[in-house]
Structures are given as structure tokens and as C-alpha cells.
Amino acid sequence: MPTPKDILAVPRPKNTVVVTYGKGHDRYAVRRRVGCRYIKGRHVPITGPTVGHIVGGAFVPLEERKPVAGREPELKDWGVVELADRCFADVFGELSRVYNAADARRIWCIALLRVCYPGVPDCELKERYETSVLSEKYPGVALSRNAACKFQNDLGKACSRIIEFMRSRAAAVGADAHLLLDGTLKSDESRVNTLSDFSRKARTKGSRDINVLYAFDLDRQEPVCSKCFPGNMLDVTAYGAFMEECGVEKGLVVADKGFPAGAAAEHRARHPGLHYLNPVKRNSRFIETHRLLEFDAPVAGREGVLCRKAKCRGERKWLYSFRHAGKAAAEEQAWLAKASAKGTYDRAEYERQRRRFGTIVLECDLDLPPETVYKAYEERWQIEIVMRYYKNACGFDETRVQDDYSVIGSEFCDFLATVLTFRLLKAFDQAGLLKKSTYSRLLSVLRRAKQVRWPDGEWRPVKLAPSQENVLRSLSLLPSPPQPPPRKRGRPRRLPLPTSV
């Protein structure tokens, strides 16, 4: 049956033909002409695929459907990336003052992905980036395996930028800040870089290491700066170089016995705003000279703790000694148990050691109340938490790169990841979530929070269990549910009883 003239007159794309079909010959498909063939002396047109239909006197094109293969993921991780983005936003500004926008964005994304997905290798950064909303917030970041590895190498080559970044963070530290200083050993079995070497723990670890030094701000509860040194270098040797390069020029540095007061005396002499609080070894001559084991007063606000304060003669140095009764009893019990097991008990040695059980002697260049000194050093254990999260929670117990430049660049990203980790911890603590769950468990809940793209192009969160949604609400990632209207006071009015007929 021929196609009606009014249908043929409907405007449609060029190089198309109308084909009538259907039982009643009342349907009209518009098909594309894709060429012609020469058959028996004449040109025969070739009809291609259908591009639309004529419906109601108008041409209606077919919607082009893209193939499923190779499409961008439309279900992406949202919760953990969204929270990390909020906590880490100001660090992007710090990076932008040192690096250009593209480099700052890539450094920022690598550090964020290493926190959101602990232990993620460089070869999986691109996949994690594309399957999270990070690719929606910051599109076009090159994170393939080759791109990420080469970028970290280039990052290490431009080490002056890293020094500038660390010094800018140290300059923001207040004059009254308490800085905790410590180092950790990190496995590095590379034979092509100069940082990998056998450390003092090589006998027990059986591997080469690099030494990573950290300065932690006790007041802000986050790392300030870091630097990596060869694994065979002692903390006391690296102390002065660390302070000089990172620009630590003010604040009270609280260190351990590996950082004696004289290690960076020259650096402190040039910066009068820098002070120190260091422990003294138990065999130091200062203890007997100033009778520091003759305690004369209790520490205010500390039950079972005695103290003594003395000023060194001819020096601007004060000595503070403390004795904790509970720790003294524990040390005495451990000493007696060891001597009994080995059969080496000696009364004279016991009497000599008993005076030192549960004691600690500190030296400082400031005249401070003993309770302030004891509190500052007592809270020094938090630097151990930094090292624990650095190695365990973040998965930074070993290097995964080879040459010097790559190690320096990778450690810089690891430092930023450690800063973000402690900001997440602070967010969890402020929301009261750490009382009920662990850090790793909360990260697992956040990774369950995903968003899906609807046909209209809008991203919407996926429904979660009520307990998991409560975690997201505590972190202000989801709005609070609407509250029901308040009930009126008193009993509800009773309906009247039906009257009998």
C-alpha cells in the first residue's frame, strides 16, 4: 500500500525514506539511506536503520542508547569521600600556595584516597577515583598507574616545594603550642635509594628501613611537619636537621630520651621562641647533685604523684622529678619477679634500684609549675598513637617505591594522609562515635554510603540500615528526619457512646 502524500510531506532528516508497516498499514517508520548498489544496469538504493517514526503528523526521532560497555560507573562511594573532603578542604588551600592548581589537586586526591581506602596501591588509585564521587567533585585528575608513579617521582625531585610547605605549616604554630617530636622506622627493601639501610632494629625486623620524623601539635591534635632520613641515622643525629629544614622556631618541644637537650642547642639559640622539655636518663649526675629523688611536695590534681623542682647552677635550666606510686609498685614487682626467676636477687642492688622505681626526671628551659610539666609529658604518649595510625590504620608500614625521589614524594603524600586521618578522628570524637565503635569500623560504615545516578541525572544516596544512617546523621552527612508534631497535653477526648433506640 503506498504511503499517503500527507505523511511524505512531513519534514524529516535528509537521505531518509518513509516505510509503511503494521496490520492496518497505519504506522510509518523513517529509515536512513546508507548507499546504493549497481544491479543489472541500474542503481538500487540501500535502506539502513530506522531513525524515527512519524506520529501524529510529526517526526519523532529514536532516542540513541549508548552501549553499556565502557560507561562511567553510576553507583559511587560517597560517604567517606564527602566527609574527608570537608575535613581536608583547607589543606587544599595550603597546597595551592605552593603548587599550581593541577598538581595541588592531584596531591590532594592521592592523600585522600590513601585514607579512604587504607593500603590502596598506586595501580588501583584510578579505579578508586572513578568509583567514588571524587571524580565528580574533581574531574580530570590523572591517576593511572604510570601517571601516579611518575608524578610522585617528579614531586620528590621538586623537594624545595615540600620544604616550603612544611615551613609554612610550622610558621602557623603558636608560641605557646606543645610540639611532640618522635620518629618511626618504616620498611624499605630497595637497593637503589640512599635512604634504605639497616637500622638499630635490623636484628629483630630482618629488613632495611627508612627513618620518618614527625612533629605533632598537641593543642591542634594533628601533625605539623615530617621528614624522612636514612634508616641507620639515629634520632639525635637527625634532630637538628629536622628542626632547621622544617622551620620549627617556636613552641615547647616535648621529646623522648632519643632527643637530648644539646642535640639542637645551636638551632634553639638562634630562635628564642623555641623551648624544650626532655627526659633525663636515670643515671644522670644531675639526679644526685640536686637531690632529685628527695621528693618534697605532691603534684596538684594528680593523686599518688610526688615532685621536686630544682634550678641548675649557672644555667637557664630547671629540673623536675616525679614519682608515681602506682608505677613504682608495678616496676618493683616486675624487678623482683625477674630477679627471682633468674636467681640474681641482691639486697644492695635492690635497695639502690628501689629509689628509682616509678620516677622520671625532666629538664626544661622554662620556669613552669610542676603540674604543667607533668601534664605536658604525660600527654606525650599521643605521639605513639600518631605512629600507630600511621602504620596500621593508614597502612604505611612499608614503602612501595624505589628511588630517592619517589620515596620523598610518596612520604609527602603519606604525611598529608596522616593529617587527614587525625581530622577524621577529631570529627568522629566530636560526634561521640568513638565511644561506641572503632575508627576502622566507622570507615567501613562510611564506605557503605553510596550515591546512585537516576535517569534524570541527579545523584541520590542509597538506602542504608537505620543504625548506619544514624552514623551519617551524627556527622551531618544526612539531614535529620522530620519530627512529628507535638502531642496535645492530656488524654484524648473520648467519642460519645451510641444511644440506644
CA atoms within 13 A on the CB side of 373: 27
Cell 552514623 identifies what position? 471
225 with 348, same domain? yes
Query: Is residue 352 domain-resident?
Result: yes
Q: What is the spatial distance between Cα 284 and Cα 389, in angstroms, rounded to a whole number?
A: 34
Using alpha carbons, list the distances in angstroms from residue 444 to 110, 134, 440, 447, 459. Answer: 19, 17, 6, 5, 21
164 with 290, same domain? yes
SS3 at position 484: coil
Q: What is the spatial distance between Cα 15 and Cα 303, in angstroms, rounded to a whole number?
A: 94
Residue 11 DSSP label: -
Query: Is residue 313 domain-resident?
Result: yes
Per DSSP, the residues of 148-193 read: HHHHHHHHHHTHHHHHHHHHHHHHTS-TT-EEEEEEEEEE---SSS
Query: Is residue 416 domain-resident?
Result: no
328 with 212, same domain? yes
Grid coordinates belonging to 314: 649557672
48 with 163, same domain? no
* pTM for the model: 0.78
Residue 319 sits in a domain whose CATH number is 3.90.350.10
Domain termination residue (choose one: 364, 399, 434): 399
Q: What is the spatial distance between Cα 137 and Cα 117, in angstroms, rounded to a whole number?
A: 18
pLDDT by position in tens, the chain (length 501): 688 888 889 999 988 999 988 877 778 999 988 888 888 878 888 888 888 899 888 998 887 666 766 678 999 999 999 999 999 999 999 999 999 999 999 999 999 999 999 989 999 999 999 999 999 999 999 999 999 999 999 999 999 999 999 999 999 998 888 898 888 888 888 877 888 888 877 767 777 888 899 899 988 888 999 999 998 888 778 888 898 899 998 899 888 777 777 777 777 788 888 898 888 888 888 888 899 999 989 998 888 999 999 998 778 889 999 999 999 999 999 999 999 998 989 999 998 889 899 999 999 999 999 998 998 888 777 777 777 777 776 777 778 788 889 999 999 999 999 999 999 999 999 999 999 899 989 999 999 999 999 888 889 999 999 999 999 999 999 988 877 777 777 777 777 777 665
Cell 637538628 identifies what position? 240
325 with 187, same domain? yes
Query: Is residue 212 domain-resident?
Result: yes
Query: Is residue 261 domain-resident?
Result: yes
- 162 closest CA partner among 237, 247, 41: 247
3-state secondary structure 283-312: CCHHHHHCCCCCCCEECCCCCCEEEEEEEC
Query: Is residue 188 domain-resident?
Result: yes
SS3 at position 139: coil
193 with 311, same domain? yes
Number of structural domains, the chain? Answer: 2
| Exposure letters 400-434 (e unless 16+ CB within 10 A, then b) | bbbebbbbbbbbbbbbbbbbbbbbbbebbeeeebe
Q: What is the spatial distance between Cα 482 and Cα 154, in angstroms, rounded to a whole number?
A: 51
Q: How far is Cα of residue 218 from the mean position of the Cα atoms in its chain?
A: 17
321 with 173, same domain? yes
Query: Is residue 130 domain-resident?
Result: no
Q: What is the spatial distance between Cα 341 and Cα 355, in angstroms, rounded to a whole number?
A: 22
48 with 181, same domain? no
Contacts of residue 416, defined as CB under 8 A and 6 or more positions apart, other chains included, come to 91, 107, 108, 111
Point out which residues pair with 35 in neighbouring strands. Answer: 46
> Cα Rg for the chain, rounded, in angstroms?
35
Residue 345 DSSP label: -
Domain termination residue (choose one: 399, 421, 438): 399
Query: Is residue 434 domain-resident?
Result: no
Q: What is the spatial distance between Cα 394 and Cα 236, in angstroms, rounded to a whole number?
A: 27
> What is the domain extent for residue 13?
5-61
Domain termination residue (choose one: 61, 76, 107): 61
Contacts of residue 63, defined as CB under 8 A and 6 or more positions apart, other chains included, come to none
